[in-house]
Amino acid sequence: MDGITQAEAIAVAPLAGGERACFFTAGRFDGLECLTATFHTHRYARHTHDTYVIGGVVAGCETFMVRGCRRYIGPGDLAFVHPHDVHDGEPHGDGYCYRMTYPTVALLQGVAAEVSGDALSGVPFFTEPVVRDPQGVALFVQAHQALEAPQDTLAADELLSRVYARCLVRHARIAPRFVGREPGPVARAKALLAQRYAEDLPLAVLAAEAGLSPHHLIRAFRRETGLTPHAWLINLRVDAAKARLRCGEAPAAVASATGFCDQAHLTRAFKARIGVTPGVYRAAVAA
């Protein structure tokens, strides 16, 4: 059986009323394809992919046949289908909503190598097609949403790296390497963030500056500072926003100048750290 894309799998049977399917890609992750969908009656024909299938159901229940057994996946469960595994899929009950990604073998091998510190001779193998992992699903949904509606490249990159690493360690038995103190590399990453905090920096650029793999940088940065690189970046942006607000600048202009995608983005980050909105802060402290 030839492998097909998920778009081709859906096209075999058109969607019914009330159903939806949205595809998008994250090109910087080896052309990663992503899907968010709601199905009530749609049934997938038996098919395979050249990629992995990794994702989770956020509402309802899906059932599918894979590796010779019928599986059921509901909220809080992660699904793993290997390249060339024949599988189908259909609603169990009233339907389901899910989010899926289709990482290439090369992409997952790369993440596994970052996690373990060694190049893999084979391909990652997930021992169970469906696992209970509510925290993993929550992290996966955050990553998927960040890729679908990008506001901050570093946030999306960091979340996807973290969730794939979690899946490999917990569900594919990839042993993580020990991460010790990395003051030099972390200092270089912090300096780059301080210089370019208003830019939309990819994780790969930050990792290259540090001289570490992306996943290693995330772990080392958090060990050194207590925050991930993205959380550190948001703090830098909020500090820069405070300085501008004290000079009387309007919140919308401040958001644009400090790297936030819009005023609402600034407001959420600012209030979460300062306790008041930028407008309230400006009114209280502006010279």
Q: Is 134's pLDDT higher than 70?
A: yes
Examine the pLDDT at 13 and tell me if it is beyond 60. no
pLDDT on residue 118: 82
Question: Nearest-CA neighbor of 168 among 220, 209, 114, 211?
Answer: 114
Mean pLDDT of the region 183-189 = 96
Answer for the pair 176, 116: CB distance below 8 angstroms, yes or no.
yes
Q: What is the pLDDT of residue 236?
A: 98
Q: Does position 1 have pLDDT exceeding 70, yes or no?
A: no
pTM here is 0.90
Least confident of 71-85, 175-189, 219-233, 270-284: 175-189
Q: For residues 142 and 243, what is the distance between their CA atoms, to the nearest angstrom?
A: 30
Q: Report the pLDDT averaged over residues 159-171.
A: 97
Confidence of residue 4 (pLDDT cuts 50, 70, 90): low
Tell me the pLDDT of the chain averaged across its residues.
Answer: 92
Q: Is the pLDDT of residue 16 over 80?
A: no
What is the residue type of 287?
A
Band of pLDDT at residue 9, cut at 50, 70 and 90: low
pLDDT at 266: 96
